[in-house]
Structure 1
Amino acid sequence: MSGAPVRVLVVDDDFAVASVHRGYVESLPGFEVVGEVHRGVQAVEAVRVLRPDLLLLDVYLPDISGIEVLRRIRSAPGPQPDVLAITAAREVETVRQAMAGGVVDYLVKPFSLATFRERLEVYRSHRAELLRRSAEDSGALEQSDVDRMLAGRRRAGGPGAVTDLPKGLSPRTLEAVARALRSDPTRDLSAGEVAERCGLARVSARRYLEHLERTGRAAVFPRYGGTGRPENGYRWVG
């Protein structure tokens, strides 16, 4: 991997979870963890001292919220780190405030290592492109340049991505499944429930739901206590 690695600060109140996230980051080429903290005030101070490139920020912290951490970081002088929110917080207002604070992505727990790896690789690629542009040309970008850079990020799977679908999946049906989840974002729906709402076979609905989960637009919630095989529920997270 050429160039300097992306310097990452991990912020999570759960020591075990923070350790897992550290391990995830350290398993990826092109990244290094420069610090790990577990409280909001510590995060603000660590950003000031360590000057990380990227902050992996939990929202639920024991002293101040991750949203308040984001506000304090953005109001401080000096270089600004990019922020990737990693949290169990699914409230619309929390997501809105995080987006207003300029997060580059928003990952809802729990998620797979594959999803985590994909989001960080998208971020690294996008950051490298911005740095390359900055080094090559200090002038202003044309609208076409901005559109091309954003389109590259979306194709790679970032927020608002328009990704290439796996073979056999239809964009129109995918939107119908996403719309079914968005219609009731406070509860999770099973593949069977989505299939009934969308007029699909259960196995087809499951394929679309699994794609939404892999691309970070749905979260999985295992359902226990019923008879027969356990069934996953899916909830829209955008």
Structure 2
Amino acid sequence: MIKVLIVDDDFMVAKVHAGFVRQTPGFAVVGVAHTGAQALVEAQRLQPDLVLLDIHLPDISGLDLLQQLREEVPELDVLVISAAREVDTVRRALRGGIVHYLMKPFSNEDLRERLEHYQQAYRPLASSKSTAEQADVNRVFGVSRTERPLPKGCSVETLRLVEQLLRDTGTDLSASEAADRLGTSRVSARRYLEYLSDDGRVKVQLRYGGVGRPERRYVWRS
């Protein structure tokens, strides 16, 4: 579970953002702060994975607070959520190493997309593995092959179901097993699985045994 600290001077806005985060699977709101000073205390106490940070705070600029938060929690990631639209502000935030910059106002779906991108792109780099694949780096910088079109007859909705199935299962699945759980044909399930494999999000493992070709099994790259 990804622990999130929300930093926003507006109590109601912070409450709304917290509700949005709670609706995104895999994320939990562990705290809310309304000033920079409070944010530093809560970050040190709660050790969150991700901070949703506003730029306009009553006691400090969010851009300055960003560096202080990193000093308190070096492994912390920051997603800026702000009404600030000045180019210099955006540039400073990007140079500060944020994972995304989302401008207010925005919808639940807007935030969900950023959180899911963070979950799928940045979090794998914080795992225990010592080396990264090019696909891991591509996802962080937004040049993943996920932008290529889906195979004919495939839908984004079903693709998301396949992704969720593999993430929730936590182990490898064959195309037949995936089809049974999704209620689709084996051929259809395999098309989605192979698409995700080509994209780098799924790893293919071969299981040998019996007569004939080895069985292709698919596991989510965590």
User: TM-score normalized by structure 2?
Assistant: 0.61
- The alignment yields a C-alpha RMSD, in angstroms, of 2.3
Structure 2 vs 1, CA of residues 162 and 111 (structure 1 numbering), >3 Å: closer, same or farther? farther
1:66 positional shift: 0.6
The residue that corresponds to 1:44 in the other structure is 40
- Mapped pair 1:31 → 2:27: yes
> Equivalent pairs: percent with the same residue?
47
Aligned 8 A contact 1:155 1:164 in 2? no
- The alpha-carbon deviation at position 152 of structure 1 amounts to 2.6
Residue aligned with 2:97, SS: coil
Specify the alignment match of 1:81 in structure 2: 76
Q: Which amino acid aligns with 1:130?
A: L
Show the counterpart of 2:67.
Answer: 71
Shift of 1:42: 0.8
Consecutive aligned runs of 4 or more in structure 1 exceeding 3 Å deviation: 161-166
Does the CA-based 8 Å contact 1:51-1:79 persist in structure 2?
A: no
Mark the runs of 5 or more structure 1 residues left unpaired by the alignment: 167-238
Match of 2:122 among 121, 124, 127: 127
- Residue matched to 2:137: 150
Q: How far did 1:106 drift?
A: 0.3
Distance 1:66 1:59 in 2: 4
Range moving further from structure 2, 41-50 or 13-22: 41-50
- Match for residue 96 of structure 1 among 91, 97, 119: 91
**Structure 1 residue matching 2:105: 3-state secondary structure:** coil
How high is the TM-score relative to the length of structure 1?
Answer: 0.57
Counterpart-to-counterpart distance in 2, 1:165 and 1:23:
33
**Length, aligned pairs only:** 149
C-alpha deviations, 1:65-94, integer Å up to 9, x for none?
A: 111110212234x54310000000111111
Q: Which 5+ residue runs of structure 2 have no aligned equivalent?
A: 151-222
The 2-side partners of 1:65 and 1:162 are apart by 36
